[in-house]
Every structure is written in C-alpha cells, then in structure tokens.
Chain A
Amino acid sequence: MKRNRILAIALAALMLVTCCGLVATVSAEEGKIKIYFIPKNLGNPYFEALSSGFKDAIAELGEDKYEYIFTGPATAEATSQIEYVEAAVQNDADAIFIAANSNDALNGTFDDARDAGVPIYLINQDIPGSESHRDAAIMPVDFSTIGKAQIKLMAEQIGYEGEFAILSATTDAPDQNTWIELMKEVLANDEAYSKMTLVEVVYGDDQPEKSTIEMEALITKYPNLKGVIAPTTVGIAAACKVVQTRGLAEKIRVTGLGLPSEMKEFVMDGTCLGFQLWNPPYEGYLAVYLATAVKGGFKTEPGATFSAGKLGEYTILENGQILSLVDPMLYDITNIEEYAALF
C-alpha cells in the first residue's frame, strides 16, 4: 500500500512539472543580444583566451546591450555538447558559437537549433563534411599560408642560408603534413630560399620525450644544422628545451607554432627569437561583431562583408568560412608577456 502511495506521489510530481510547463512564458530581456560560446571543454586556457575576445568586443560595444554566456561540458567527448546547445536554444540565444568536439555528432542538434531560429557558428574550426548544418565558421587563420609564413620566419632567423630540419607531430597528422608539403613547395619554387636546404623531417609524435630524443638526434647527425621548424606546440617547446640546456641558441634557431605560455621562458632568454600562431581572442572579438550584424539583418552568405571594429572588414568566403587572420601572427619579445598571460 505504501509503495502505491509513493508511485502516486511520483506521478503527481510529474504532473506538477506539466502544469509548470503550461504556465511557462518565454521571456527574453528586451533588446539584449544573447550570445553563447560553447568550448570543447571548460578549464582549457586556450578557450578562456578566446572567451576574453568576446568580452573585449562587448566592453567596446556596450555591456548593457549584451548577455554573454560561456558554458560547456567538463570533458571534450563527442556528444557532451548536445545538452548545452539545447539549453542555449531553450534560453532564446541569438547566436551560438561552438568549438565542436566532433565533425558530425552534433548535426541533428544543429538542425534542431536552426529550425528554432538560432544560428549556429563554428569557431576556431570548421566541421568538414557537415558544412550544411551550420551557418558560418570563424577560422583562426588561413591555414594555407602557414607553410609559406613558417619558411619565411626561419629564413629571417638564419639569414636565408644553411641547413635546417623539421620536427613534426605524428607521421599521419593531417594539418602538419599539409603544411610541410607547402613548405617544400615554397622552398622549391621561390628563389629567395635557394640557399636553404631541408635536411630531414623527423616526427616527435607530439610527445615531449620522443620530441626531445628526435631533436638531440638531429643535432648529432647534422653538425652544420642552423635551424629547426617545429609546427606543433609540443615539438617546439621540446626543441627549445634541448637548445636551452645545451646552450646552442646562437648556433641553432628554433621556430614553429607554439603556445605563448609555454614559450615565454625561451623567448625571454633568447633561445627562441620568435614563433607563430593565430590569435584566439581575435576570433571571439569578431564573433560578437558577427552576431551583432546578424541581429541587425545581416545575412551570412558567401561574399557578404561586415565590419568588426578595430579588426576591420571581414568577408564570408565561398565555403562559409571567415578567416580571423590571413597570415599567422608573430609572437616575440615585444608581445610574449601580454599573450602568455592569456593562453
């Protein structure tokens, strides 16, 4: 008997929720633009740097005109972001920016959101193969320029001549392999680099230990080595550590793609003259301007342009992407401290 009573009460509770549901009224704070940014996972300094860009733009455009929510799952699992997108739609978001954990696991959720009138923008990446499920994608940089930019940076650091090597991630890392191909193309076709020789490409598998061993092997194998390009954050930090420990900074120049926070000590003591990466806060900054433009009637169609404050004009490309930077940005002694504090 008692159990039956409990069952009845449980059912009553369900009905209570139903009643609440029926009287629920949807209310959005009048006039405010509600922006959601859902990162891959929380507690990741990279996305916090990106989020700081959102806040900068909002501070510029007026705090009272925006409601900005930075929320996401604790783990970067493929489907863990679904509930967050659904909650944002339920909360009447005007725009959802998301760094998706999967190229296709959220397609159904994105479709539902867009059917409900909430635009979905990918940020810091695109979802190759699923582009029809999003409105636009804000990209960190034009990835096709990275190969060329890295060779130019290396050339400047070693005086346009001498032997250099590449310390990459894994042998099948798609991004790095594309960039290395582009580097080889530039070397072969551009006269300016005719005195530079790429001696070897080695792979540190994005592990600090393996990268260190590979770097030490390069130094032993090529006594005339003048430089190393490591287009991966783990590789460049490991290579710099080896050069720093052995006191070889004057002889071997290390550059590549790195994180300011990990590279600060090497830039400050002169081990690394400069390295490149994109600029995450820029992406958040221009995201706010995009959401504002769309709220004002702007349509995210290929060829359309909108203005993003201090960053200037941006055009939506044929594939729906927006490049926050064309060339990667240089991080050196002049700006390393400012950015190391961010990410």
Chain B
Amino acid sequence: MKGLDGRSKRGKLSAVFSRREWVPFGLLLATLIVSASLSESFRDLAYLLRTTTRYMELGMTALTMTLIVSAGMIDLSVPATMCCSATVAALAFHAGLPMEAAIPLGLLTGLACGAVNGLLIAYLNLPSMIVTIGTMSVFRGISQIFIGDKSLGKFPEWFNSIEKIPVFMIGKARFGVTILAFILLAFAFYLVLHKTGFGRKVLAVGANEQAAIFSSVNTRRVKLQLFLLSGFVSGIAGLLTMSRLLLVRYDMNLNSEIDVVAMVLLGGAEISGGNGSIIGTFIAVLLVIVLKTGLIVANVTSDAQMFMMGLILLLSIIIPNIGKLVQGFRDR
C-alpha cells in the first residue's frame, strides 16, 4: 500500500526512502574505490571536476526528471529540449540580436517545449512516454532543419566557457558555475519534493491519480507545471552546454535521455511513480560521473563501459529487492 498522503505514513515512507538511497550510495563508494585503484590519474579532484561538467548539465535535468518520474510519468524529450533551446538562442544571436536577448529567448524556448509536452499529456490525457518520444524528434528536428549538419558558434567571449569561471577553488580543483548551479538546484529540488505541498501533490499523483483527484488535487495543473519546470531547467542546461562547447549542433547530447533516466532510476525513484528521492538522484549523478570518468581514464573500452553501466543499473534494482526474491523462492 502506498500512502496517499506522505504525512500520514511519514515514518514508514522515510524508512523506505533511506533504505533505497543506501544502494546508490554503496555503489558510489564501491566504484570510487575501484576507479581510484584502477588509475592514478583518477585520484585528482581537479580533473574530475573539469571533465564531468557534461554530467552536471544532465544532472540538472535528472532533478526535474525525478519529480516527473515520482508523478508516474517520464520525459524523454529532455536532451532534445536542451538542443532546441540552444539552437533558438544561437539562431537569434546570429540573426543580429545581442546575446543578452538571445539567452532569455533560449529559456523561453525551453518553457515552450515543456508547455507542448505538458498540454498534450495533462489536458489530452496522452501517455507521457509516447508524447515525449514524439516531441523528442520534433524538437531535435527543429534544430536539424535550421542548422543542418553544421555548427553555430562564434558567441561573445563572456558567454563562452561559463563553466570555467571559478566560484571557489580547493587547491587546483575548480568549483565552477555549472557544478555549483547543479548543487544549489539539487538543494532547491530537495526542498520542493520533500518539504512543500507541491512535492506532496506530485507524489500523490504518482501514487494514485484517481485518489489524488478525489482529494481535490488539480492533477492536470500539477502535470503541466512539472513539464514546464522540466522544459525550463532543460533550457538552462542547454545554454550551459552551448557555452561549454562554444557552439550548437543538432546532435548535441544525442541519446543522452538514457543517461538521465538511468540517473533517476539509480537514485531509487520508482518508474511506476509515487516514490522518488532527490538525494538518491544526487548520489546517482555522482555515481554515473565516477563510473564514466573512472572507466574512461583507466582506458576501458566503450563497449565494456556500456556493460558496466547496465550492470550497475541492474544491481541498483536487484539489491533492494533481494529480500522479496528470497521470500519468493521460499514460498514456492
């Protein structure tokens, strides 16, 4: 039984949450130890922070994705929205607009993408997976139509490499804008999901939509708000990616939706909804970072990397269910 209202079953729920988060955390520690022992080059925080900005950008969208999955939905159009927002900003800049005006336009595009998803899903009652598979191609298609197989770059100096601006340094390790933005965003989303009425509504929609409607939750509005949020955060992430790459291409973050979904599921969110943890997702983002960079810097080939990634994902689902598995065998 899932609690309709988080408050009434708080004790039990939080116990479940904490147990789920131990899994990615354990895996994180294990991969940290393995990666550090595999390669000396890995034991360098400056390098880790430098090379993982890409995953921090995806990590931001994993935070909104956690909310969407908690509400029993999914948004596969996130990387395409990132790409589309960046494309519009770059096109606007090349059409003669100053970068200061192109940036809000890019963010608005993100919101618009989210609005399309949200309206189709919330008000036409269409399944989120189908809708976002469709919009994924549409958003990326917009970029492909306008840019083709070329790159749009040559942005003003101040816009380029925002992630390299150090907010503070520990030795040689640079905590740049993107990394801190991710951490701050994670903190904000933790409060949103676990401490606000909106967060409780999100979990209620995911746990039992009918029950949520009867408890006078405006589920449609909640869904629309979630996708608007997802679009907006994707817009921010897309512009950060554009600043890091110094250019926009139609294949920016192609196929990254798998990474984002993996981060959310590794973090312990239930794909059927009603359950999700921002702390879990945060740890899972670190886990993916450690895993990817650890394997790449140890010169492990990309096919073996995919295998490891899949294995970790499976483990994260199997470990919390070992109890059930054993029970199942006993009952037979």
Q: Which residues of A contact B (CB under 8 A)?
A: 2-3, 6-7, 9-10, 13-14, 16-18, 20-27, 42-43, 69, 71-75, 77-79, 82-84, 86-87, 90-92, 102-105, 107-108
Question: Which residue of the partner chain, among B14, B171, B251, B252, contacts A2 with CB atoms under 8 Å?
Answer: B14
Contact B44 A90 (CB under 8 A): yes
Contact B43 A83 (CB under 8 A): no
Contact A7 B303 (CB under 8 A): no
Contact B279 A3 (CB under 8 A): yes
Cβ of B45 within 8 Å of any chain A Cβ, yes or no, is: yes
Residues of chain A within 8 A (CB-CB) of B129 are: none
Contact A17 B48 (CB under 8 A): yes
Contact B302 A72 (CB under 8 A): yes
Contact A27 B40 (CB under 8 A): yes
Residues of chain A within 8 A (CB-CB) of B54 are: 82-83
Contact A73 B283 (CB under 8 A): no
Contact A77 B43 (CB under 8 A): no
Interface size on B, residues (CB 8 A): 55
Residues of chain A within 8 A (CB-CB) of B253 are: 79
Cβ of B249 within 8 Å of any chain A Cβ, yes or no, is: yes
CA A24 – CA B37 in complex, angstroms? 12
Residues of chain A within 8 A (CB-CB) of B194 are: 3
Contact B43 A24 (CB under 8 A): yes
Please name the residue on chain B nearest to A72 by beta carbon: B302
Residue of A10, A43, A73 with highest tally of chain B CB at under 10 A: A10
Residues of chain B within 8 A (CB-CB) of A82 are: 54
Question: Which residue of the partner chain, among B21, B44, B286, B297, contacts A13 with CB atoms under 8 Å?
Answer: B286
Cβ of B255 within 8 Å of any chain A Cβ, yes or no, is: yes
CA A250 – CA B197 in complex, angstroms? 82
* Known A3-B17, A72-B302, A86-B51; 6 more pairs at CB < 8 Å: A24-B44, A74-B302, A74-B306, A83-B292, A90-B47, A92-B41
Question: Which residue of the partner chain, among A10, A24, A69, contacts B299 with CB atoms under 8 Å?
Answer: A69
Question: Which residue of the partner chain, among B51, B245, B255, contacts A75 with CB atoms under 8 Å?
Answer: B255
On whether A83 and B293 interact (CB within 8 A), knowing A42-B303, A104-B151, the answer reads yes
Please name the residue on chain A nearest to B46 by beta carbon: A21
Please name the residue on chain B nearest to A103 by beta carbon: B151
CA A10 – CA B297 in complex, angstroms? 23
Contact B245 A13 (CB under 8 A): no
A-B pairs, 10 with minimum CB distance: A21-B45, A74-B302, A24-B43, A87-B297, A2-B18, A20-B43, A24-B44, A86-B51, A87-B296, A90-B41
On whether A21 and B21 interact (CB within 8 A), knowing A10-B279, A83-B54, A83-B293, the answer reads no
Can you list 13 A-B contacts with CB-CB less than 8 angstroms, sorted by A residue number?
Answer: A6-B279, A10-B283, A24-B44, A26-B40, A42-B301, A42-B303, A78-B252, A83-B293, A86-B50, A90-B297, A91-B41, A104-B151, A108-B246
Please name the residue on chain B nearest to A129 by beta carbon: B151
Please name the residue on chain A nearest to B183 by beta carbon: A14
CA A26 – CA B44 in complex, angstroms? 9
Cβ of B29 within 8 Å of any chain A Cβ, yes or no, is: yes
Cβ of B36 within 8 Å of any chain A Cβ, yes or no, is: yes
On whether A21 and B279 interact (CB within 8 A), knowing A3-B17, A87-B293, the answer reads no
Contact A13 B45 (CB under 8 A): no
Residues of chain A within 8 A (CB-CB) of B299 are: 69, 71, 87, 91
Residues of chain B within 8 A (CB-CB) of A43 are: 303
Q: What does the 1/0 interface line of B233-264 toward A look like (CB < 8 Å)? A: 00000000000111101011111000000000
Residues of chain A within 8 A (CB-CB) of B244 are: 108
Residues of chain A within 8 A (CB-CB) of B45 are: 17-18, 20-22
Contact B44 A102 (CB under 8 A): no
Query: How far, in Å, is B141 (CB) from chain A's closest CB?
Result: 17
Residues of chain B within 8 A (CB-CB) of A105 are: 151, 245, 247, 249
Q: What does the 1/0 interface line of B154-182 toward A look like (CB < 8 Å)? A: 00000011000000001101000000000
Please name the residue on chain B nearest to A86 by beta carbon: B51
Contact A25 B40 (CB under 8 A): yes
Cβ of B25 within 8 Å of any chain A Cβ, yes or no, is: yes
Contact B303 A74 (CB under 8 A): yes
CA A79 – CA B253 in complex, angstroms? 8
CA A21 – CA B40 in complex, angstroms? 10
Please name the residue on chain B nearest to A10 by beta carbon: B283
Residues of chain B within 8 A (CB-CB) of A26 are: 40-41
Contact B153 A20 (CB under 8 A): no
Residues of chain A within 8 A (CB-CB) of B254 are: 75, 77
Contact B251 A77 (CB under 8 A): yes
Query: How far, in Å, is B318 (CB) from chain A's closest CB?
Result: 21
Residues of chain B within 8 A (CB-CB) of A74 are: 302-303, 305-306
